[in-house]
Structure 1
Amino acid sequence: MSSHSVRDPDAAKGVGFGLVAYLMWGCFPLFFALFEGVPAFEVVLHRIIWSCLFLAALITLLRRWAPVRAALRRPGRLGRVLACAVLIGLNWGIYIYAVETQHVLQASLGYFLTPLVNVGLGIVVLRETMVKAQLAALGLATVGIAMQFVLLNELPWLSLVLAFSFGTYGLFRKQVALDGLSGLFVETLLLLPAALLVFAWLEIQGLSHFTQFPRTTTLLMAAGVITALPLLAFAGAARRLRLATLGFLMYINPSMQFLIALLVFNEPLSPVQLGTFALIWTGLALYSWSAWQQSSAR
């Protein structure tokens, strides 16, 4: 039996896992729009608390405590993990705020920008050498953001914070020797004490929405499971697919958010914003073509 026929079923599973992960992430605006009247920071608190509990149960079920214990035995090396935790917490908070304030278009723009931010961070921080197509892609994205700033006299700050927080999270995450499941658990575990303290303060002050209505309680608890499930599917895809294939699947998430913003939430799209998206889409096409060429050459 050829190696090609052995690999195909595994690759098909990988694509299936990848589609599940990115489709779930793409539908996040529909889920977080249900938290009407609950401040974004409170949703993040419960996302941390219930993610941590759900992941602990999952790690116990899968018997994956060894890498977690190894990481916690070396507190001196948890600095980067803490940085990852703060960045992902910031990203979650800004994203939920964008959904609650009906700025899903800006959120989708942020996640379209993320791969190009990664290219920029690679050049500036890691001193990586980029091919001309990747530099051109970065230039197009910069022109798109500058065009919005000049013509509309405003920066899409939500998009930029989402892109840079997630891009920097990826930069630190690459330097942490933990798999996706263990890494997310340790990150939420580091944020858990602060989340519990703020939750307790909200309860004492009578400001907590957790016990107001059974529906809100259920949604806040479900936020933890909803956070972990696409990550597990993504881990299954990452083990089976090439990075270039994963890169193409990644655009499903912001594309779905873009369509949801227009078709479900009826957010307005000005010609200038459309021009910004068009420049960034062109940049992403260049970047993806370049990444595919490099992957094929290897």
Structure 2
Amino acid sequence: MTDRPTRAPRNTRLVGAGYAVGAYLLWGFLPLYFVLLEPTGPWEVVAWRILLSLVFYLILIPVVGGWPRLRTVLSNRRLVMWTAVAGLLIYLNWQVFLIATLTGHVIEMSLGYFINPIVTVLLGVVVLRERLRPMQWTAVGLAVVATLVIVVGYGAVPWLALGVAFSFGLYGLVKRHIGPSVDVTSGLTLESLWLAPLAIVQLVIVAMTTGLTMGTAGAGHGVLLALAGVITAAPLMLFAAGARRVPLTVLGIAQFITPIMQLVIGVWVLDEPMPPERWIGFAIVWLALGVFTLDSVVAARRRRAERRAVPPSRSARQE
């Protein structure tokens, strides 16, 4: 086999880029969808999101012939444990996301997704002992400065942004650790399955305190809430399809679609406050992301150039 570019790979990359962009666009619109679910609170929304996602995946598995793969994963205790950890982390991410969205903190949440790539790199240093290049350290330093500017100027630590960034960063770290041993459908199914008891308990508590809203706020609201499973699963499936077809640099650049959309929705649609100190903090974050993205692109080009420079005979011997 050779690495020469052909029309098929180019078409595959284009299709993959379309899947990835579609996933990030859907994630960007999620705040508007969840705002439409009011008066349903964040705890009830997350519980329905878990249970209805599980129903969606259980319907999907026989369609894609996934039962054998699911049984293979279930036979491995280590993989089962890691899917449970991944489920807990994505639960934390969803819960913080919903609390931020339904309490008027969409802008702060967008900050979390802006800094998520840098948090992911930082976790790689702390957990995986990876070494950062100088420009990556510069991006990390700028992100820290931006957070300090927001804390000092705005007078509050952006806990929701940090919660979103670190929960999703750790989730990505676990998914990377699992690797190809768990296919997308099996992984998402098991994550939802392990969270199902928690979701049921959560619904019981909500029912005993504030009361459940499913079916009590009109037919339109009921339909929207019933779609929570599909709305949750669709971008995850699109993202998984895209991630298999495009380079990480493409995913890294495309992921900024989501926080940009969330920022626009928070400022111009939901009319959340955006004082000057926040704009300054965001500007520093964007500078950090510019440095980070430039470094990623340059590093990817350097690796491609190095691979092309290896003679075919030497490459074959190495294999």
TM-score normalised over the length of structure 2: 0.89
**1:6-45 → structure 2 map (5 Å cutoff):** 6-45=8-47
Residue of structure 1 aligned with 2:105, choices 103, 113, 124? 103
Which amino acid is 1:90 matched to? Answer: L
Residue of structure 1 aligned with 2:93, choices 70, 80, 91? 91
1:180 aligned partner: 184
SS at match of 1:112: helix
SS at match of 2:73: helix
Whether 2:182 is the aligned partner of 1:198: answer no
Distance 1:256 1:206, change over 3 A: closer
> Is the contact between residue 209 and residue 216 of structure 1 (CA under 8 Å) also seen in structure 2?
no
Higher Cα radius of gyration: 2
Partner Cα separation in structure 1 for residue 210 and residue 279 of structure 2: 44
> Is the contact between residue 23 and residue 236 of structure 2 (CA under 8 Å) also seen in structure 1?
yes
2:193 aligned partner: 189
Distance 1:265 1:203, change over 3 A: closer
**Partner deviation per Cα, 1:1-46 (whole Å, 9 max, x = no partner):** x733232221211121112111111111110111212110110000
Which amino acid is 2:225 matched to? Answer: L
TM-score normalised over the length of structure 1: 0.95
1:3 aligned partner: 5
Residue of structure 2 aligned with 1:233, choices 232, 238, 245? 238
Partner Cα separation in structure 1 for residue 79 and residue 250 of structure 2: 32
Q: Return the offset for 1:196.
A: 2.3
> Is the contact between residue 51 and residue 192 of structure 2 (CA under 8 Å) also seen in structure 1?
yes
Partner Cα separation in structure 2 for residue 127 and residue 76 of structure 1: 22
Residue of structure 1 aligned with 2:292, choices 284, 287, 293? 287
> Is the contact between residue 53 and residue 192 of structure 2 (CA under 8 Å) also seen in structure 1?
yes
2:52 aligned partner: 50
**Partner deviation per Cα, 1:225-283 (whole Å, 9 max, x = no partner):** 00111111112211211111111111111111111111111112111111111111111
Whether 2:272 is the aligned partner of 1:267: answer yes
2:255 aligned partner: 250
* Structure 1: gaps of 5 or more residues: none
Which amino acid is 1:45 matched to? Answer: A
Q: Return the offset for 1:128.
A: 0.2
Whether 2:151 is the aligned partner of 1:138: answer no
Which amino acid is 2:183 matched to? Answer: D
Partner Cα separation in structure 1 for residue 175 and residue 7 of structure 2: 34
Moved over 4 A (4+): 200-206
Q: Return the offset for 1:159.
A: 0.3
Let me know the Cα RMSD of the aligned residues: 1.6
* Structure 2: gaps of 5 or more residues: 304-319
Partner Cα separation in structure 1 for residue 275 and residue 127 of structure 2: 34
Partner Cα separation in structure 2 for residue 206 and residue 78 of structure 1: 35
Which amino acid is 1:198 matched to? Answer: Q
**Partner deviation per Cα, 1:39-63 (whole Å, 9 max, x = no partner):** 1011000000000000111111111
Q: Return the offset for 1:119.
A: 1.0
Whether 2:68 is the aligned partner of 1:66: answer yes
